Structure 1
Amino acid sequence: MSRATFAESEGEETETTTTTTSSVGRTIGVWVDLASPSHPFFFKALTDSLSNVETTVTVREKTETVPLARQVGYEFRTLGRDYENPHLRKIGIPLRTAQLALQAPTADVALSSRNAMCILAAKARGIPSIHFTDNDICAYVDGLKSEELYHRLEAQATHNVVPAAFQTEVLTDRGADPDSIHTYDGYKEDVYVASFDPDPTFLDDLPFDSQDFIVVRPEALSATYVDADGSLVPDVLAGAVERGINVVYLPREDADREFAAGLPDEQVYVPDEAISGLELAWHARCVLTGSGTMAREAARMETPAVSFFPSTLISVDRALIEEGEIFHSRDADDIVDYVDSLTDRDAEPDLTRAREVRREVADLTASLMNEFVD
C-alpha cells in the first residue's frame, strides 16, 4: 500500500504550510522547557501558531528529545538528563529542577507539558506558567505515590490546559484552583499533527521491497506507571513476520533491541538513528505501541492505531478506544489479526479536525498569555 501525498488527499497543498496565528497583545518572552520526545513537536506547532512571542528553549536529555528539538528547528540549551536506572531517575528529577531554578532564562511566561520540574523552577523564579497535560492516571490507580506527587506539583502551575476528556479532579483535589484549569475539545496530539507536512521521499529511506509496513514501539517497562511482567513485543514481531508484514521497530532502551534478535532484517527494520514518528504514522498501515502517544498521533491523522499498554489507561486513551479510534489489546494474536484485517481505505489521512483543535488551543493559550501582558 502506498499512502497518498498530503496534497492529493487534502486537495490543497497550501494547507500544509499555512498556519493562522493567534495574537498576543504585545511581544512576550516565552520560556519553553522540553522534557520528553513528544514535546518538540507540540510546542513548535503551538509557538508557531502564536504571534508576538519570542521563545527561549531548554531541553532535557531523554531518549530522542534533543535530536527532535534540533529537527523541528529550535535553538536550545540542554539542561539535565533522564536516567534508565529507576533509582538514579528519582535523583535526576529534583536535580534538574534545581538546575532549571538556577539557570532558567528570563521570561514573561513558562510553557511546559507533563513537567513539574519547569513549574517548580518557574515558581521559584517568579515566572507564571502555563502547563499542558493529558495524564490523569491517578484518577484510576491507587498507590502510585510518585505519580500522585507529580500531579500535586503540576497543580501548582498558574494555568493548566487539558483535553475535555481529562479528569480535572486529579488537579483540583491536589490544590489547583478550578478557575485555573482550561479544557479544549480534542487531544494534545492534534496540535502538532495539524502542522505536519509529510515528506514524499520518506519511503525511499526504508529498506522494504514493498511500501506497506507497520510500526511497533515497546512498552515503557521501566516507568513507574507501568505494571507488567514482560513485553508483548516478541510475540507481536514474530506474528508479523509469520504473516509477511514488514515492521519498523523502535526500541525504547538498549534491552528492547533483543526482541528483534534473530528476525529477518529484510522484514524487521531497526533504525540506527532517531526517525520521525509522524512520518512513520503518516505512511504506515498501522501504528502499534505499548504506550499512548504514538497511538494517539496516528489516530488523530486517521491512521489505524493499536495500544497494548499493560496498565491502567488514562482517560484520553479510554475515550479514543471507546470512540473506535484506537484498538486496545494485550493479546498478540488478536493484535496481528487486527492488523491483517486492515485495508487501504482504513488508512486514508485527513487533518481537518486536528487543525480545528490546534486553532482552539492556540486561541486559548494566547488569551492566557494576555493576562501577563502589561
Structure 2
Amino acid sequence: MSRATFAASEDEPSETTRSVAQTVEAWVDLASPSHPFFFKALTDSFSNVEPTVTVREKTETVPLARQVGYDFRTVGKDYENPHLRKVGIPLRTAQLALEAPDADVALSSRNAMCILAAKVRGIPSIHFTDNDICAYVDGLAAEELYHRLEAQATHNVVPTAFRTEVLTDRGADPDSIHTYDGYKEDVYVAAFEPDPSFLDTIPFESQDFIVVRPEALSATYVDAEGSLVPDILAGAVERGVNVVYLPREGTDRAFADGLPPERVYVPDEPLSGLELAWHARCVLTGSGTMAREASRMQTPAVSFFPSTLISVDRALIEEGEIFHSRNAEDVLDYVESITDHDAQPDLTRARRVRREVADLTADLMNETLD
C-alpha cells in the first residue's frame, strides 16, 4: 500500500539538525516498502550527506523509492516462493558485494544483505532495526541465520523499547548498540505533510471514519486460525461507523461482501496510509506498522495482531498509545469511546524523535570517519 509524499517542514529549519564533520558518501540500500520513507526522512536531515541508493524489487519498494524522490539502481529481487527466496537473498548479497558504490558508510534496516556486502567492501555499516523476534514458526533456520548476520553491523541503532540482549545473543558487540527514545516510525511520520484535499477521495457524507487493515495471515510470523476482520466490519456497520477497508490479498476482499458500500468503502486504488492515519478517527490493523504510524502522529490506534508482539508494540500498548485486543466487541467499544479531542493528530513528538535519531546517526558517521 502506498503512503504519503512528505517533505521537511518549512517552519522548522532545525529539521536539518546536524552537519557531519565532512561530506559523507552514504550507500543506502532499500530492501522493503517502509525503507524509502524512513531513509529519505533521515538523509534529508543532513546538509552534507550524499546518498547513493540501491533498491530491491519487493512489492512496492521500487515505486515508493521513486515517489520519495530518490535516484537509484535496482539490484536483485524478492521471491514469493519460499524456496526461491532462500536462493534470492544470498544471490542479492553477492550482487551487492560486486555492485556496491564506493561509500564512507552503508545505511540499512533489517537488511543482512547490505551488512554482509558492506563488510566485503570494507564499508562501515549503520543498521536500524526494531524487530526483536526472529521467527514464529519452528524450523526457520534460514531466518535465524539472517537475523544473526544483521547483528554484525558496525553500529546497530534501536528504540529504547528494543530488547538489546537479543542483538548481543546474536553476536553483536554491546558497544555497537545505540538507542533512541522513540520509534522508527517517528522518523518519517515527522516529515509528513497532510494534504487538505485528501478527504475528497473518501466517499462518506460524514468525514468521520475508521481504517481497517487485516492480519497478514499468509506470513510465516503470524499464527492464527482466522481473521477478526469479518466481525469488526459487521460490528462497525451495526454501530453506524464508517470504514475504509484495506484488504491485503484478494481473499481479504470477501470480508466486505454483502456489507453496505455506503458504510464500508474498499478503494480500487492504493491510498496513502499516512493520509488515512492523519484524517481517520482510529486506525485498526492486524499487523504492527500502521498502528505504530498512527500512534506516532497521536491518532488513536488498535492492533489485533494475533501472534507474539515485538517489544516496541508491547511498549506502545503499555504506554496506552495502542489498544490491543483479539475481541471484536472490545475493539469496537474502544472505537466508540474515542473523543474528538483524542482524534486530533499532532507531529510535535515525532519531530523531536527525528532530530534525536539524526543527531545519533551524525555522531556515528563522524565516528566512522575518524
Q: Give the CA deviation at 1:147.
A: 4.0
* Other-structure match for 1:134: 130
Partner of 2:72: 76
The CA deviation at 1:274 is 3.1
- TM-score, normalized by length of structure 2? 0.91
SS at match of 1:50: coil
User: What per-residue deviation string (whole Å, max 9, x for no partner) do you get for residues 7-58 of structure 1?
Assistant: xxxxxx8447862331111111111111222211111111011121111112
Q: How does 1:27-176 map to 2 (within 5 A)?
A: 27-138=23-134, 145-176=141-172
Residue 129 (structure 1) shift: 0.9
Between stretches 82-91 and 341-350, larger displacement belongs to 82-91
CA–CA distance in structure 1, aligned partners of residues 178 and 317 of structure 2: 23
93 and 245 in structure 1: CA distance in 2 versus 1, 3 angstrom threshold:
farther
Distance in 1, matches of 2:98 and 2:249, equals: 31
Secondary structure, aligned partner of 2:23: strand
Q: Secondary structure at the match of 2:331?
A: helix
> SS of the counterpart of 1:131?
strand
Query: Which is further off, 87-96 or 69-78?
Result: 87-96
Q: Which runs of 5+ in 2 are unaligned?
A: 1-8
Q: Which residue of 2 aligns with 1:191?
A: 187
Alignment of 1:253 with 2:235, yes or no, is no
Tell me the distance in 1 between the aligned counterparts of 2:45 and 2:314: 29
Q: Look up the equivalent residue of 1:234 and give its one-letter code.
A: P
C-alpha separation between the residues in 2 aligned to 1:271 and 1:185?
A: 36
The one-letter amino acid of 1:182's match is H
Q: Match of 2:362, SS? A: helix
**Among 284, 295, 299, the residue aligned to 1:299:** 295
Partner amino acid, structure 1, of 2:287: S
Question: Compared with structure 1, are the counterparts of its residues 333 and 340 closer, same or farther at alpha carbon in structure 2 (3 Å cutoff)?
Answer: same
Match of 1:359 in 2: 355
Contact 1:191 1:355 (C-alpha < 8 Å) held by counterparts: yes
For residues 203 and 141 of structure 1, what CA distance do their matches in structure 2 show?
41
Matched with 2:279 is: 283
% same residue: 84
Q: Is the 8 A contact 1:286 1:305 kept in 2?
A: yes
The answer on whether the counterparts of 2:151 and 2:171 sit within 8 Å (CA) in structure 1 is: yes
Matches within 5 A, 1:259-278: 259-278=255-274
Instruction: Give the number of equivalent residue pairs.
Output: 362
Counterparts of 1:325-364 in structure 2 under 5 Å? 325-364=321-360
Contact (CA 8 Å) 2:130, 2:184: kept in 1 or not? yes
Cα pair distance change 1:307/1:14, threshold 3 Å: same
CA displacement, residues 249-306 of structure 1 (integer Å, 9 cap, x when unaligned): 2222333233233333333233333322111111111111111111111111110000
Q: In angstroms, what is the RMSD of aligned CA positions?
A: 2.1
Alpha carbons 2:136, 2:221 under 8 Å: kept: no
Change (3 A) 1:317 1:204: same
The answer as to whether partners of 2:136 and 2:220 remain within 8 angstroms in 1 is no
SS at match of 2:341: helix
Counterpart check, 1:205 vs 2:207:
no
2:6 alignment counterpart: none
Q: Secondary structure at the match of 2:48?
A: strand
Structure 1: runs of 5+ lacking an equivalent: 1-12
Residue aligned with 1:240, SS: helix
